[in-house]
């Protein structure tokens, strides 16, 4: 719900949000690009100011092509800030017209990351109060399928 919190607060700052969903070659996602887009669309199905798009290449190039004025990023801790600061500087070098806006999640979500949620769910932990209901069901189903595979 940290992502949901950031998005809701960003809606207070901007008339429209494009949620850009990308494939990160440095990560091995639990869900496919299509599944992640569906989760976001289902979460915000009643919010007309949100558009969910798949993106390849540099996010800053995509933002510029969409005439976006800013890229919104969530920051939980100082460790996030170091990486995000470097990324913002590189984005500014590449596309000066696109600003970076950093939002911190509410205190309830400050200690939570998607990696921690996935790990807890993968190991049978109850994360139902940390993610939207439909996302929790997808996590349970995904890890139930994976747990039926034999470990050698």
- Is residue 49 in a domain? yes
Phi, psi of 53 (to 5 degrees): -130, 145
Question: Looking at residue 105, which CATH number applies to its domain?
Answer: 3.40.50.620
Domain assignment present for 128: no
pLDDT at 136 over 80: yes
Torsion angle, CA of 131/134/135/141, rounded to 10 degrees?
130
Q: Do the domain assignments include residue 144?
A: no
Query: What is the number of other CB atoms lying within 10 angstroms of the CB of residue 96?
Result: 9
Assigned domain for 102 exists: yes
Instruction: Note the pTM of the prediction, 2 decimals.
Output: 0.84
Average pLDDT for 86-107: 95
d(CA 6, CA 83): 18
Report the C-alpha gap between 24 and 12 in whole angstroms. 28
Q: Is residue 9 part of a domain?
A: yes
Torsion of CA 70, 14, 4, 113, to 10 degrees: 20
In a domain, 142, yes or no: no
Give the total number of structural domains in the chain.
1
- Within 10 angstroms of residue 132's Cβ, the number of other Cβ atoms is 17
Domain limits for position 78: 2-110
The reply to whether 46 falls in a domain is yes
Where in the sequence numbering do the catalytic residues fall?
3, 27, 76, 114
**Lookup: tokens for 119:** 């790990």
Q: Is 74 inside a domain boundary?
A: yes
- Structure confidence by residue, pLDDT tens digits, 37-77: 999 999 999 999 999 999 999 999 999 999 999 999 999 88
């Amino acid at each position: 719900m940290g992502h949901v919190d950031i998005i809701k607060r960003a809606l207070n700052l901007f008339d429209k949000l494009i949620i850009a969903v990308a494939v990160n070659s440095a990560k091995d996602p639990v869900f496919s690009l299509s599944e992640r887009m569906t989760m976001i669309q289902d979460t915000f199905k009643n919010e007309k100011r949100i558009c969910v798009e798949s993106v390849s290449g540099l996010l800053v190039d995509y933002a510029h092509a969409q005439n976006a004025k800013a890229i919104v990023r969530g920051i939980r801790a100082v460790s996030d800030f170091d990486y995000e600061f470097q990324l913002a500087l590189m984005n500014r070098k590449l596309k000066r017209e696109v600003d970076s806006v950093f939002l911190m999640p509410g205190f309830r979500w400050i200690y939570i990351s998607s990696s921690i949620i996935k790990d807890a769910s993968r190991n049978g932990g109850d994360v139902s109060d940390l993610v939207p209901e439909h996302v929790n069901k997808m996590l349970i189903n995904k890890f139930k399928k994976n747990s039926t595979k034999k470990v050698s």
